Structure 1
Amino acid sequence: MQKQTSLLGLSHCVVLSNGIVDVTVSTEIGPRILSYGFSGQDNILGLYPAVATPTEWGEWKPWGGHRLWTAPEAIPRSYAPDSAPVRSDNEGEFSLRLRQETDRSGVEKEMEVSLAPEGTAVTITHRITNRTLWPVRLAAWGITIMAPGGWGLMPLAEFRSHDEELLPAQPLVLWYFTDLSDPRWVLGSQCVALRTDPGYPAPQKAGIMNREGWCAYIRGREIFVKEFPFENGQEYPDYGCNNEMYGAGSYLELESLGPMRMLAPGESCDHVERWSLLRHERAMGTVADSAPEVCRMIRGKIGSGR
């Protein structure tokens, strides 16, 4: 089912609903997915309509929710303003295609948002098209801003003893502003976790090569799961990352990245995410105590074999 609604003062928004979860997208800006949650209940995505970043091309606003960027991150290219209307095409009762006109960086961004007729699954197919007159090297980058009050999680490779395995398992990539002594970070045997905390506004970021192809955000009883592909043998941005987390105070982003592509003029690349929502029988405890249980729960759900 689809219906019109307003959100963040944007009057032209569309809700996709199957009676279990609702997904709201805007056709006035973006493309953006502004809300996702169980029907009639809280939005698991974060909204920040007052935040803005000035660039030489004009003001860029995150607005909130889910967006499509290009990696590696650079100003002004990544921050090309996208607060103008997008084209919206109905692809069926539970599916909508959103297409932005070519931005100042010379790329066209498109999202197809498809809600499953039953359950909580949402599939987002991102497409980047090079509209310049020269080849452009980039990666598609899906960024999801989460609602305050929870914590993000990226899984680590399965533990193996020194007797079993001598070679490294995966990259863990840090930024110049990353401080692993910050109490928002929790590094465990199964995952890297980052808490939201308004008392710690300093930005933090880390990334991994995630062969399992999932990450999560935990808030109360709800667990948001983002799944994405890993293409073995391909080059990924940021020292090989296909999964990253960024946090600053109450703000947190879960990010997935596709491999680097050299796009000829008119050529496109796609990147697919699959979302789902789980509800635990009780609210989660501390990050350190809850992370192993969450990892087991998600791995069991998506059939990772662990």
Structure 2
Amino acid sequence: MKYSTITIATERIRLTVLAAGGPRILALHLDNGPNLLAETPAARWQTPWGEFALLGGHRLWHAPEAFPRSYWPDLDGPPAEPVEHGVILRSAIDPGGIAKSLTVTLDPQQPRLHLRHALTNHGLWPVEIAPWAITQLVPGGLAVLPLHDAQPPPNPLLPNRQLALWPYTSLPDPRLHLTDDALLIDTALAGPPAKVGTHSAAGWLAYIHQGVVVVKWAAYQPTGIYPDRNCNLEIYYDQGCTELETLAPLGHLAPGATITHDEIWFLAPWSVPIDRQDLFKHLSKSVNELV
């Protein structure tokens, strides 16, 4: 099934988004290169409300995840609204009373985007919820999950790194490479679906593939309680895609209220090989200069 789309672009970046509903970003190109986002036409599930189609690319989710609530078919919705240098994408109101919106703004001068994810409660009672930004990238690259923010620990007697593993993540996994500072995931190697997460003050994730590095950054909130055993950064990977995921803290969303979660994406050509032990330091320095 074909869906109507809209293209927005600058001299460096071109995005394709759904023209209505979703919200979904379906394609991301840097300097007329290939689509960096995964396409998943076969990823579909039957729900009490009909078929949910994933499509691939970038989507707005909300935590905690549950079936079938999280998989409400959302491709029918209001039309996209153009804004200066971008677009606002909106969903219809789901059976739980939640409506999603995604405002995408392109930087006209450099290859970066600002994404504001918003959830609004149109129901009659408060809900505990967290916005969750999921980006499916084409498989075959190297994903970087930072375990800390490159700052000296305030108390060296307390732990400053942690990992969460999903039940279907089988260990040992030859795709995983643990350094002092980050977990690296080589998705060019074949293997079953897996997912890892962390609670990290770094606030960013990175993916290197096809001569491009993609970095997603979201402000870390040290007093917040995050979903999934307090994870603010998560990576899912299988043979069809690699997902970079950032989450906001859980909050009680009152009727009529809206909660937001902002991301900044940076894209840059990547051609110089860097030793895996130095990769975290190089990316941390670049992120600190760009945020």
- TM-score tier (shorter): over 0.9
Alpha-carbon shift at residue 290 of structure 1 (Å) = 4.2
**Per-residue Cα deviation, 1:267-294 (whole angstroms, up to 9, x for no partner):** 1100001001121234x5xxxx743343
Tell me the equivalent position of 2:215.
225
Alpha-carbon shift at residue 198 of structure 1 (Å) = 6.8
Question: For the structure 1 residues 221 and 290, does the alpha-carbon distance in structure 2 shift closer, same or farther, using more than 3 Å as the test?
Answer: farther
Separation in structure 2 between the aligned mates of residue 62 and residue 268 of structure 1, nearest angstrom: 24
User: Which residue among 294, 303, 306 is the counterpart of 2:279?
Assistant: 294
Tell me the equivalent position of 1:240.
230
Tell me the equivalent position of 1:142.
133
Matched, 1:271 2:261: yes
Question: For the structure 1 residues 30 and 298, does the alpha-carbon distance in structure 2 shift closer, same or farther, using more than 3 Å as the test?
Answer: same
Matched, 1:58 2:58: no
Letter in 2 for 1:56: P
Alpha-carbon shift at residue 297 of structure 1 (Å) = 2.6
Separation in structure 2 between the aligned mates of residue 47 and residue 292 of structure 1, nearest angstrom: 31
Question: Per the alignment, in what secondary structure is the counterpart of residue 303 of structure 1?
Answer: helix
Alpha-carbon shift at residue 76 of structure 1 (Å) = 1.1
User: Which residue among 107, 111, 120 is the counterpart of 2:111?
Assistant: 120
Contact 1:21-1:38 at 8 Å conserved across structures: yes
Separation in structure 1 between the aligned mates of residue 12 and residue 277 of structure 2, nearest angstrom: 27
Letter in 1 for 2:165: L
Question: For the structure 1 residues 217 and 86, does the alpha-carbon distance in structure 2 shift closer, same or farther, using more than 3 Å as the test?
Answer: farther
User: Which residue among 132, 135, 146 is the counterpart of 1:155?
Assistant: 146
Letter in 1 for 2:41: P
Tell me the equivalent position of 2:6.
14
Alpha-carbon shift at residue 194 of structure 1 (Å) = 2.1
Two-structure CA RMSD over aligned residues (Å): 2.1
Question: Per the alignment, in what secondary structure is the counterpart of residue 108 of structure 1?
Answer: strand
Aligned residues: 288
Separation in structure 2 between the aligned mates of residue 42 and residue 299 of structure 1, nearest angstrom: 26
Contact 2:20-2:80 at 8 Å conserved across structures: no
Question: Per the alignment, in what secondary structure is the counterpart of residue 80 of structure 2?
Answer: strand
Separation in structure 2 between the aligned mates of residue 81 and residue 295 of structure 1, nearest angstrom: 38
Matched, 1:36 2:36: no
Letter in 2 for 1:103: D
Tell me the equivalent position of 1:4.
none
Contact 2:199-2:233 at 8 Å conserved across structures: yes
Alpha-carbon shift at residue 191 of structure 1 (Å) = 0.8
Letter in 1 for 2:258: S
Alpha-carbon shift at residue 18 of structure 1 (Å) = 1.1
- The answer to which of 27-36 and 121-130 deviates more is 27-36
Matched, 1:261 2:251: yes
Separation in structure 1 between the aligned mates of residue 38 and residue 262 of structure 2, nearest angstrom: 21
Contact 1:31-1:110 at 8 Å conserved across structures: yes
Normalised by the length of structure 2, the TM-score is: 0.92
Letter in 1 for 2:121: N
Question: Per the alignment, in what secondary structure is the counterpart of residue 71 of structure 2?
Answer: coil
Alpha-carbon shift at residue 173 of structure 1 (Å) = 1.1
Task: Give identity over the alignment, percent.
Answer: 34
Question: For the structure 1 residues 219 and 290, does the alpha-carbon distance in structure 2 shift closer, same or farther, using more than 3 Å as the test?
Answer: farther
